[in-house]
Amino acid sequence: MYVAENGEDVNHIGISVSKKVGNSIVRHHITRLIREIFRLNNDRIRTGLNIVVVARVAAKESDYKHLEGAYMHLCGLHHILKESK
């Protein structure tokens, strides 16, 4: 995951899934899962960010819950989660 400020009031996401991960069906499935994870957890992340997610080969074997956990873990490592109130 790469994160950069964008100077706007909204977050943008970019998703990169290499051909090494699988064929187009697998790559699009992973892309849809990551986009849905971003959509559902966007309120837990600070605004004004460009987020680029690079899916690795292990994502092919992962389910939604595992990918969501990995995404939230990376958000914590990048310190972009909102403070809990």
Domain membership of residue 66 (yes or no) is yes
CB 9 within 8 A of CB 49: no
Domain membership of residue 83 (yes or no) is no
Cα pseudo-dihedral 32, 58, 17, 42, rounded to 10: 50
Domain membership of residue 21 (yes or no) is yes
The pLDDT of residue 17? 96
CB 40 within 8 A of CB 79: no
State how many domains the chain has: 1
Domain membership of residue 73 (yes or no) is yes
What CATH number is attached to the domain comprising 34?
3.30.230.10
Rounded to two decimals, the pTM is 0.88
Domain membership of residue 70 (yes or no) is yes
The pLDDT of residue 83? 76
Which residue range(s) make up the domain with 46? Answer: 2-77
Domain membership of residue 30 (yes or no) is yes
Domain membership of residue 41 (yes or no) is yes
d(CA 46, CA 82): 6
For every one of its 85 residues, what pLDDT tens digit does the chain have, with 9 covering 90 and above?
Answer: 999 999 999 999 999 999 999 999 999 999 999 999 999 999 999 999 999 999 999 999 999 999 999 999 999 999 999 875 4
The pLDDT of residue 84? 55
Domain membership of residue 85 (yes or no) is no
